[in-house]
Amino acid sequence: MRTTLTKPQLIDLTHVFTNDMPVYPGDACSRLYECANIKEHGACVHSIDSGLHVGTHMDAPMHFIDGGAYICDFPVGNFQQRGVVVDARGHQVIGADLLHGHDLQAEDMVLVRTDWCRRFREDDYYTAYPVIAEDFAHALVAARVSLIGLDTPSPDYEPFAIHKILLAADVLIIENLTNLAALEGFKDLLIHAYPMKYKAEAAPVRVVAEVL
């Protein structure tokens, strides 16, 4: 007899990668294009020409830490952990006070909701986003969380001090999440965030929340 499996409720937190992705100011534009089609070539084939810090992606320590780990150096088990959502809507600077009431545990994935993702294709998306305060970053390091995920393009601006605090402690960073509003009301979450296995400082990542 065939066993019927109960499918979990899954919520996608990842931007669709298209040929017109917004990129960080100064980065080269990304291209996703069809280089062969069924009518002329018998098969449809797409090609991509892109930096690794485009769309929903994960930063590894090597991004800012000399001698830091590549994204491929982390075991796959690191990418499936309990999720904790921090509501930071309305805050331009996200301080440690917003962690009050959250019982952070080692290996947790902390997702910071600002709803800035709604401006993903607007002109100020990369120039006016909310930022993480140093005390918030240090609190995550002290709690030994595995990852912070943001629905903004970065936890900070130059000189990227927050990147360095987090990545020096092997706290991975996911940037450009979306759809965190769909997690409202759910307390028990398992986050799946599997980056491509690149020997590089970052990689695209598909991020999905499993509602438990």
CA distances (Å), origin 113, targets 25, 88, 148, 168: 23, 6, 11, 23
User: Domain for residue 91, yes or no?
Assistant: yes
Q: 29 in a domain, yes or no?
A: no
Q: Tell me: the pLDDT tens digits for 72-129? A: 999 999 999 999 999 999 999 999 999 999 999 999 999 999 999 999 999 999 999 9
**Domains contained in the chain, number:** 1
In a domain, 22, yes or no: no
Residue 21 lies in a domain: no
Among the listed residues 48, 57, 34, 46, the one whose alpha carbon sits nearest the alpha carbon of residue 198: 57
Range of the domain at 92: 9-14+52-211
Does residue 39 lie in a domain region?
no
When computed from its CA atoms, the radius of gyration of the chain, rounded to whole angstroms, is: 18
Give which of 148, 173, 144 is closest to 65, Cα–Cα.
173
Task: Say how far apart CA 106 and CA 142 lie, in whole Å.
Answer: 9
pLDDT in tens, 129-153: 999 999 999 999 999 999 999 999 9
45 in a domain, yes or no?
no
User: Would you give the end-to-end CA distance of the chain in angstroms?
Assistant: 27
The whole model's pTM is what?
A: 0.96
Residue 90, domain CATH? 3.50.30.50
